[in-house]
Structure 1
Amino acid sequence: MKRALVGDIGGTNARFALWENNAMHSVQVFATADYTSPEQAIGAYLAAQGLARGELEAVCLAVAGPVSGDEFRFTNNHWRLSRQAFCRALQVKQLLLINDFTAMALGMTRLQADECREVCAGVADAGRPAVVIGPGTGLGVGTLLALGDGRWMALPGEGGHVDLPVSTPREAQIHQQIALETGHVSAETVLSGGGLLRLYQAVCALDGQQATLQSPAAITDAALAGDPVALAVIEQFCRFLGRVAGNNVLTLGGRGGVYIVGGVIPRFAELFLRSGFAESFADKGCMSGYFKNVPVWLVTAEFSGLLGAGVALEGVNA
């Protein structure tokens, strides 16, 4: 394939790169709030790279949300995209839109040994699905299947919007407290950047504490500095993530392993690795033994979604 553009567009940031000779280069990150549309942001990227519109053979964008039809509305930002209008504006013949966690799952096929850390020891069953899950602006969930002969399939889905699982009296109290604010409590309601703040506020309300911290970053910083309330919130966040990840393994037969991705967990990686994630992950009653040899990795690679978009583009044009 000649020169193409790949993009990974989330709620907060849009990442773009050029894709040539089955490899990615020239990565730049743009704040979605600074641009009115993906066309405008890509136009700025092309200008920064010294490229004119019409010089790209194809574009693949990984986007947060279900993909169908001509028009796509981004789940966690204000952008909209019409396939036909996009291709006209940027003079592109081929536009491939894929779910962001389809791209993230495909990105795991390019993962290097130094780009992940072991969370739970095990041996991946190459013939079974792998689960890719990650808290960021929202909560993404994807599935990766090995087809043999170096071929892969990623299954899109909206697993971040399943109900938040509750397994202890304390978690039931937290669920009820959050439901007073949000109504329905999905996994993403808690397991996301904004969800971390919501969880902190719920814990403070239940324990009669004043909620003095005003952002996810402030909660993370306080936990890393040893604040007991913030530490308890991070611990509960990790346990909820373990429950959701474990549910996905059971549902999918995901003995190919679990990849923890996204921008939230790496900010407190050491706390995560010491947390009750692994205990909650396998806390499934009579099915707890199912998790004995299922590996879990924390992915530290910065641009897996972009790489996955390139892998998807190569597959379409193979």
Structure 2
Amino acid sequence: MEEEKYIGYIKYEGNLVEDGLMDARKQAQALLGFDSALRHFIGKRAPDFRNLDFEIPVRIRKGSWEALIPETVGGWVQGGLGIVATAYFTKAAQKMAEKDFSDFGITDLFKHAISAIQWFVRIGKHMGDTAIRSFENVQFLEGNTLVAIPNDSGEYLYVPKKMLDLYTSCNPKILEKIAENIEEGRELTIGTIVNGKVEEVAIYAEEKGIFCEEEAEPEEDVLFPELVHGDDVVLEGEVTRENKTSNSMGFKYEEHILTAYPESGSVVRYKPLLFLKCRLYGTVSRLDEKGSIAARRPKLYVSHLEPLESDREEDDLFR
């Protein structure tokens, strides 16, 4: 029996899924999230598909936890839609020249969609925040078909213009469902297979916050009542994220994530301290949305962050 071939996949790897097992709800969430993202990008390339109820075949494979799209996906979709799909692609074939649909077909739609998901991940990781939609100091190359976009570190990522357009027009949390399953011991990989060549992009636990909100923690009556509004404090914890848009960072203190803001300037200067243990010098705020000093969860206004990691050379960078 000939081995089935695939065009792409999502995969969770790590010691939590070595036997190919994962919680049923997490599996369902991963498949629904993958399905939703595929349909979004397919609809962008072929708008008529947005209103069609078609099936997406997926095969689950053990070893890690993989959901694979077979090369035969075109037959599945066209078979399910019957004359509707045939009529659509006959019409599309007549418009190949004006729509740039050379070698257009159902399988190509899926390949394009999986590639768009990969580029969404690459750009999100490069920028550190999927909510960023405006890019400064870009460079246009190869007849404006390729765009070089810089991040806060001055590094450039070279992105096909069509993929950048898709990125800027979609929901910043489009991969939230599949990213929520990521944790230490379970990383996510999105792969494409073209002419036998595999190309992968991964999201690791420390990058999870780029693609989904951090898990909400149950509210206590008052979290850390010893942190009193207006007090100057020195706390030890870990910087878990930084958000350029809100000019804030996450600070993990005694297993809780507190929102912290620089007292002055941009949070970008603290980016080298991401995922490091640090000593935070700052002021506690208990102001709530109404302006009362009644917030259950404190916020921190940071005057200084001191890294405690011994393997970094930036120990005095933010003094």
Fold equivalence (TM over 0.5): no
**More helix, by proportion:** 1
Select the structure with the greater relative contact order (CA < 8 A; seq sep ≥ 6): 1
**More strand, by proportion:** 2
